[in-house]
Chain A
Amino acid sequence: MEKDLPILQSRIHEALQDRQLQANLEKNLKRSSRGTQRERIIQSTPDWERLREYGRQVKEHTLGRLPEYLEELEKNVVSLGGKVIWAQDAEHARNFILQLIRDRDIRSVVKSKSMTTEEIALNPALEREGTRVVETDLGEYIVQIAGQKPSHILGPSVHLSKDQISDLFYRKHGPPKLSRAEELTAQARQRLRQEFLRADMGITGVNFGIADSGTLVLIENEGNILLTVSKPRIHVAIMGIEKVIPRLEHLPNFLKLLIYSASGQRISSYVHLVSGPRRPGEIDGPEELYLILLDNGRSRILSDPFLAQTLSCIRCGACLNSCPVYQNVGGHAYASTYQGPIGAILTPQLESLEAAPDHPFASSLCGACGEVCPVKIEIPQILLKLREKIRLGKDRKSGSIQLQKLAFQIWVWCMQRPERVAGVRRMIRIGQKILLRKGHRFPPVPFLRRWMRYHELPGFPEKTFREMYAEREGS
């Protein structure tokens, strides 16, 4: 029966049945202290709600003037000696980087964690080109050598246990077999050092692009970004166009919003402000800086004033961490670059509704995501809007959607008058009695059958409320 399930449902089923994954999610997500750290620091921040409103407003304002701010950013980056490339889609972005690699004779690349590079499927393209690509963020390095995709936008290896990582390192690095997190980290540190020193190019994402100064803000804890922009002679930074913020003075509040929400830290170990390539006379740093502004569907999302708030996302991961669906199935079940609640709203919009028609339905609409979002994206409302769009979209003529629509039309007709509801109820009672006599307990209505896979049904009450109330009044 599971084979007939749409792809998302079957991946969710696999995830729920995967005992190792369930144990890992329990330990790394549900029981990790990250959630409580976030709660603690937010509780000690009396102005948190005002900060969120600030974040929402700045983002809303910026999105309303996005072309102007991007032009300002471009002008200032260029004035600092950087180059700006506008990439309308993934292919353009990849091709630019590949051309640069050929032109500059780039043999090896070090990368820091960047969801935009996942989005444009950069690594496979570089590898096909024969370029050595090494992920330097520990979580990304782990999934890279495991041949997997990241499963969380901040903690790419959250789906793996320490033992699995230990086995992985042993298989890929050779003996000795290390078992402690400190040892495994030290081994990665030692191996990656050489990569930072030999790489010709460093590729990073961008957390915030500051329009008025042309500064690229890169946030990290490990120090791999620092090393990525130290020795390699070229720095390529790929930024989704929605990541721009107007002024440097906005940065402190956004740092709080992002970092408190992501990990509950007061600040990350490193916040880097990159302003162009190295200055003449500076002793190290990249000689060239390329900022790639990536559209890839974002301009389309921008055109709907309500849905545009999807682009406010600052990629903190708090919605993932608070989502009971994500916590139970992990990131791979989504089979898309972005996972969790933000993935559920971004994927159908960035790609197409038809590419991810079940993502917006994989939610009980509990609202935990909207509650934690530092920039107040109304994720549950967007999920509802997408549900509507899917049903009105390209697949609207499909059998199942037509049937569902008919069911709701009947339901509406019924609900217009209490007498109609009473009539339907009488029919159900009669139908139930007939079926009982024939030995069936309940009608083989599809949704009822699904319900009964896991739930026992209680009896259908003899009387409705209004019948009981009327009797009481009568007596």
Chain B
Amino acid sequence: MSRSEILWRLRQASGNHPKKPLSLERIPLRRSDNPVDTFTRRLEEAGGNVFDARELGLQECLNRVLKKTGANEIFWEDPDVLVANSIPHQIRDKNAFEENELVCSSHPKGISTLPIVLNVRPLALRHIESAKLSAGSGRLAIAETGSVFFYSGRRRMRLLLGLVPNRVTFLDVNRIVGNSQEAFSSNLPLRKSSLISLISGPSQTGDIEATLVRGVHGPTGWHVILTDPSNNQSELSDSPSPRY
């Protein structure tokens, strides 16, 4: 059987090697003074867009994203996105909320008022294929590289992330760590999520005459809205407690 054959060969082969312990030098990490600034700068350098809801307000940020993307609908990967980022929302028909349905909100003229009204749509490929903008939550982010983490999950769909040409990620600024060492030493839910993706900007390629082209297979428009739910009190009052 291949397995024992290979392992036998490898044991013979590595037996020749002097055993070296792993005593690795700690390479000092640079601490950025302002992680939010660094995050914003790095992501914008990579072709992403960052909007700060702490300054502009949630409604304004959402409107800018809608305008930039030309979308009049938002497909939310998980209603929890709105909860976690304290975005006021309303579910039209609580009982209709089946597990495997697409959650969306309609904004034909941009967002005039909050709360955002959520609808459901059956989980069909044609809806995802025609969607222009999807929204998710950044569970963790890295300032040094301008990256946000996506964790696959019960409702968090890879296909929604990958197929829809624009993505807006709501990122709680308190979830931004300085560098990748910190991020990878924190407890990433590797056992819970079969796919954890670190995303640092729009999809891109240089395969044609080394010319940088943005927008290949993954999202072309990569937007992040910075939030601080711990400080965000005023707009919460009207939201029903989202239980479904």
- Contact surface of A with B, Cβ cutoff 8 Å: 27-29, 32-34, 47, 50-51, 53-54, 57-58, 60-61, 63-67, 70-71, 80, 85-88, 92, 136-139, 142, 155-158, 161-162, 165, 181-182, 184-186, 188-189, 192-193, 196-197, 213, 215, 221-224, 226-227, 229-231, 241, 246, 248-249, 251-253, 255-256, 263, 266-279, 281-285, 293, 295, 299-300, 302-305, 308
Contact = CB atoms under 8 A, between A and B. Distances in A.
Contact of B196 (A138, A252, A275, A308): A275
Nearest to B197: A272
A268 B191 contact: no
Interface footprint category on B? 35 or more
Given A33-B210, A181-B209, A267-B145, A80 B191 contact: yes
A33 B209 CA distance: 11
B229 interface: no
Given A63-B14, A227-B162, A278 B24 contact: no
B197 A273 contact: yes
Q: Is the interface of B mostly helix, strand, loop or mixed?
A: loop
What 4 A-B pairs come out closest when comparing CB atoms?
A223-B218, A223-B217, A32-B210, A303-B13
Contacts of A189: 215-217
A300 B9 CA distance: 8
Nearest to B78: A283
A281 B154 contact: yes
A156 B208 CA distance: 10
Contact of B209 (A161, A222, A274): A161
Contacts of B17: 63-64, 305, 308
25 contacts: A57-B22, A64-B17, A86-B6, A155-B206, A155-B207, A157-B207, A193-B217, A223-B203, A223-B219, A227-B159, A230-B162, A248-B184, A252-B179, A253-B181, A266-B42, A268-B200, A269-B204, A270-B197, A270-B218, A273-B197, A275-B190, A275-B193, A278-B152, A281-B154, A282-B152
B121 to A, nearest CB: 14
Interface in B121-176: 125, 129, 144-147, 152-159, 161-163
A57 B20 contact: yes
A116 to B, nearest CB: 15
A215 B190 contact: yes
B13 A88 contact: no
A305 B208 CA distance: 40
Contacts of A47: 27-28
B117 interface: no
A227 B25 contact: no
Given A189-B217, A269-B200, 11 more contacts: A67-B10, A70-B7, A155-B210, A192-B217, A197-B125, A230-B158, A267-B145, A273-B198, A300-B9, A302-B14, A305-B17
Contacts of B195: 229, 272-275, 285
B110 to A, nearest CB: 27
Interface of B: 2-3, 5-7, 9-14, 16-22, 24-25, 27-28, 42, 46, 100, 125, 129, 144-147, 152-159, 161-163, 179-181, 183-185, 188, 190-211, 213, 215-219
Contact of A222 (B11, B12, B190, B218): B218
A53 to B, nearest CB: 7
A227 B144 CA distance: 26
B24 A273 contact: no
B181 A224 contact: no
A27 B209 contact: yes
B19 A65 contact: yes
A269 B167 CA distance: 14
B218 A226 contact: yes
Contact of B208 (A138, A253, A277): A138
B169 to A, nearest CB: 14
B151 to A, nearest CB: 10
B18 A64 contact: yes
A303 B15 CA distance: 8
Contact of B207 (A65, A138, A213, A274): A138
A132 B74 CA distance: 35
B158 A271 contact: no
B178 to A, nearest CB: 12
B163 A193 contact: yes
A28 to B, nearest CB: 5
B14 A66 contact: yes
Contact of B190 (A87, A213, A300): A213
Given A57-B22, A227-B163, A269-B201, A299 B9 contact: yes
B217 to A, nearest CB: 4
Contacts of A249: 181, 184-185
Nearest to A27: B209
B154 to A, nearest CB: 5
A302 B22 contact: no
A71 B199 contact: no
Contacts of A213: 190
A50 B27 CA distance: 7
B217 A224 contact: yes
Contacts of B216: 138, 185, 188-189, 221-224
Contacts of A224: 216-218
A70 B10 contact: yes
Given A51-B27, A57-B20, A271-B198, A71 B206 contact: no
Contacts of B211: 162, 181
A267 B193 contact: no
A197 B217 CA distance: 12
Contacts of B209: 27-28, 161-162, 181
